[in-house]
Chains A and B, each alone.
Chain A
Amino acid sequence: MKNKNNLDPEKAEKLLFQMLLMRKFEEKSAELYTKEKIRGFLHLYIGEEAVATGIIQALKPEDYILATYREHAHALARGVDAGVIMAEMYGKQEGCSRGRGGSMHLFDKEKNFFGGNAIVSGHLPLATGMALASKKLKRDNITVCFFGEGAAAEGEFHEALNLASLWKVPVLFVCENNLYAMGTALRYTHAVQEIEKKGPAYGIESKAVDGMDLLKLMEAANKAVEQVRSSGEPYLLVCNTYRFRAHSMFDAELYRDKTEVEKWKKRDPIPKFRKYLLKENLISEAKVQELEKRLNTEIQKAVDLAEAGTWEAKEELTRFVYSENPVS
């Protein structure tokens, strides 16, 4: 039985579990970072989980996904194993990028997950090109490209949107507008702060959606994905959201007020969705508790896998600078 939001208990449970897993996985990551198990940059998505969840649930496995360096949640939503992601963050060769990428560079070609891209806006032209290939090869998959509002100030955002529209290729641009490009607020970086106004300049249909509400996101994502798939043309969906944690683990958050963070935390998408499911009888309290338990097992399993993982031999350092079979 599906309710008016097209949710049945099975899907409801899956989505709630997914968001809880994202949250818990990252809380655990932060803890492991302080223990120096995870090093380098670690960018947490906490607070923004509804966006990756809402968009990726609308996709087919053959659709291509490109994300930013804040992409643990996207990889989880795409079905990359939590242990494999954790191993990657440990730098172990059991990780999805052989341990070479770390937190910012999760790749899983088999799952059509193309990163993990840490040059802001650098992956937007790639997304347009991948969609161009789908069009040329007459495949019916689409490409989805996540980026922050900071990326929309880069030239490559504008070039990629123009090319995608000019070529009429099936790409969904998803702007995760969390209001801060690192520590600089939207109002200091964009003359026009409604990112959705930038799509129509290139002839791209654009829409803004509440990025803290999974139901609204699912509705917007389903529509956007369906439109990209049927029209073969690009679409820009701006998800207005907020990260509850610092930009990275090095960030003292001098640029924003604690009360602002507290205010946004009241809109936390996870309790909101849970409450809705309980109210609609799509899930029971007992089931929620069971999920919490399963969650702990899952996280522990992931950490165990990472801990048991092995280091790539130093002798392999230069492997894959070039392909191992130079002429295909």
Chain B
Amino acid sequence: MSELKKITYREALKAGIREALLNDDRVFLMGEDVGRYGGAFAVSKSLLEEFGEDRIMDVPLSESGFVGAGIGASLAGMKPIVEVMTVNFGLLPMDQIVNNAATLLHMSGGQLNVPVVIRMSCGIGKQLAAQHSHSWEPLFAHIPGLVVVSVGTHEDARGMLHTALEHPDPVIIFEYTSMLNLEAEIQIDAGHTDISRAKVRREGKDISIITYGIGVYKALEAAKRLSEQGIDAEVIDLRVLRPLDEDCFIKSVSKTHRALLVEEAWASVNISSEVSARIMENAFYELDAPVKRLGGSEVPIPYPLHLENASVPQVEDIENAVIKILRP
């Protein structure tokens, strides 16, 4: 058993970036306020002092421009980490991401690789209202050519960037604003994340709770409470939202015969919709109960705390939904 270390999600992300910069000279970080400000969420604090302004580049507010430049730099041999402050600003460079990053390899007949990594913070923060709170992983996961991953744990916060940078195709990494100060213990030598695989975060036999991102710790907490009531829930962290690791959740559902799908993104046409469809296609006869989804309320997320909380699934909601499936 290796040594455990207590670390915040923010520190874990920073450790991942720092390791990447030390590991390969072609890696550089660019984004709004990543340098002198230290990162809008203080993730890259002090990296400018350590690595200098060629490798930690503050950029103007021109998301389309600098994301496109990151894509261009990756075409010409660099390994850029492009930070888009939050996914809410992530629609401005959507043209670059869809029409260039995701398209060039196929459209050029396999000639042009785009090994860019784009990090975006995502999900509700603390009462940041409708233009700073959304979870738009499904918008990006819709696009073939992108690898879309979600950082649901501290272990992945530190270990995912390395693998993403090794990937020859564009990788979009979603990180979660509300988890930044969260502390957890991780193994010092936990290593790098396999970004082609989902991960069983808790084994159980009664139901599969399939989730990602913020949902992971919430589902684990719900599973803990449920265990006190004699319910043994399995928790799957999808981790990679495109291409989905179907084998992992089909195997789990085939074992537990029940599934609850949880995420913060708007409920219609989200990741759970896709997971649900795949369960129907591949494991319909394994099911003992209909698949149930718990998604975000379909509203622009409002400012007041009680309404913000009501906009996304909470631990109690997960707990109640599981009980309803198992003890109708």
Contact = CB atoms under 8 A, between A and B. Distances in A.
Interface of A: 64, 93, 95-101, 105, 107-109, 114-115, 119, 122-134, 136-137, 155-156, 159-160, 162-163, 166, 319-328
Contact of B78 (A101, A136, A326): A136
Contact of B168 (A129, A137, A162, A323): A323
Contacts of B76: 64, 129-130, 133-134, 137
A97 B107 contact: yes
Contacts, number: 158
Contacts of B72: 125-133
B66 interface: yes
A241 to B, nearest CB: 26
A109 B104 CA distance: 12
Given A105-B107, A122-B96, A327-B167, A156 B68 contact: yes
Nearest to B102: A321
A107 B75 CA distance: 13
B106 interface: yes
B65 A327 contact: no
User: Would you list the 5 A-B pairs with minimal beta carbon distance, nearest first?
Assistant: A129-B72, A125-B68, A98-B109, A159-B65, A129-B69
A119 B103 CA distance: 12
Interface of B: 26, 28, 54, 59-60, 62, 64-78, 80, 95-96, 99-100, 104-113, 115, 144-145, 147, 163, 166-169, 196, 243
B28 A136 contact: yes
Nearest to B93: A125
Nearest to B82: A129
28 contacts: A97-B111, A98-B110, A100-B109, A101-B108, A105-B107, A109-B111, A114-B112, A115-B108, A119-B99, A122-B95, A123-B100, A125-B96, A126-B100, A129-B72, A129-B73, A129-B74, A129-B76, A131-B72, A159-B60, A159-B62, A163-B59, A163-B62, A320-B106, A321-B106, A322-B243, A326-B167, A327-B167, A328-B166
A128 to B, nearest CB: 5
Contacts of B66: 125, 159, 163
Contacts of B196: 326
Nearest to A126: B72
A64 B72 CA distance: 11
Contact of A327 (B108, B163, B243): B163
Nearest to B163: A327
A101 B100 contact: no
Contacts of B147: 322
Contact of B75 (A126, A159, A324): A126
A105 B68 CA distance: 18
